[in-house]
Amino acid sequence: MSMTDELSNDSVAKAYAQWARFAPIYDLVFGPAFAQGRKATIAAAERVGGRILDVGVGTGISLKEYSGKNRVVGVDYSEPMLRKAQQRVKEHRLQHVEALAVMDGTRLGFPDGAFDAVLAQYVITTVPDPEGTLDEFARVTRTGGEIILVNHLGAERGLRRDLERSFAPVARKLGWQPEFAWTRLEQWATRNGLVRVIERRQMPPLGHFSLIRFERLSAAKRPQMAGLATG
């Protein structure tokens, strides 16, 4: 993939600023279609409990689905989207929402180990630097905590792979990468060395989405895992 094919912060911001202009339509389109994935990630995060970071919170469509027993911090790169989320918090008096902030996923303004769980719903294929973003997720997750993703993963072979690759240039204008493959997550986890995959589960519709959970490991284990990675 050439650099011209990659997403950029500017293209992502423009795409989601356009979505924010039509927030009710955005919620109508993405709300029901992605509801099961959102509920699954929230349930997983709440099993960990404590302080939860919701990255790519968007218009805040998921914020009402938390039980209220844990503290939630939401961040998003798109300021127009986040304004909608702030309105939703006020309207529904969501007292479990500790804060909402405009933030770049590759430069999270939190100290190391600040969160018990970090979740990203349908986000990792919409950022220009997925691996750098995941590195930040690992940094701000405490040892023993979890990184929880739900996302479309590109097909490795066959007709669906060809269709995803042909659709990719259009998709990038909408702010996402449909051909993003599972192998990138595997390779990131091996390189990072501070996480291990503890679950990968297909999600509806049609199994095109996956729930992925990583456990944040102790830094003491990093040299051993890095050695395995380099063989």
Domain with 163 in it: 3-60+69-104+113-230
Nearest to 58 by CA among 147, 137, 122: 122
Report the candidate in 150, 121, 118 with the shortest Cα–Cα distance to residue 134.
118
Is the pTM of the predicted complex or chain greater than 0.85? Answer: no
**Can you name the residues that pair with 54 across neighbouring β-strands?**
74, 119
3 C-beta neighbours (distance < 10 Å), count: 6
The pair of structure tokens assigned to 221 is 């284990």
Determine the pLDDT at residue 162.
46
Instruction: Please tell me the total count of domains within the chain.
Output: 1
CATH number, domain of 40, equals: 3.40.50.150
- Cα(5)–Cα(169) distance, integer angstroms: 7
**Which tokens belong to 224?**
């051993």
The per-residue pLDDT string of the chain (231 residues; one tens digit each, 9 = 90 and over) reads 333 345 455 555 555 455 445 455 555 555 566 788 999 999 999 999 999 999 999 899 999 999 999 999 999 988 888 999 999 999 999 999 999 999 999 999 999 999 999 999 989 988 889 999 999 999 999 999 999 999 888 656 555 544 545 544 444 444 455 557 889 999 999 999 999 999 999 887 666 789 999 999 998 766 444 434 333
DSSP-derived secondary structure for 37-62: HHHHHHHHHHHH-SEEEEET-TT-TT
Phi, psi of 81 (to 5 degrees): -65, -40
Distance CA 94, CA 66 (A): 9
The number of residues in the chain equals 231
Q: Which amino acid is at 20?
A: A
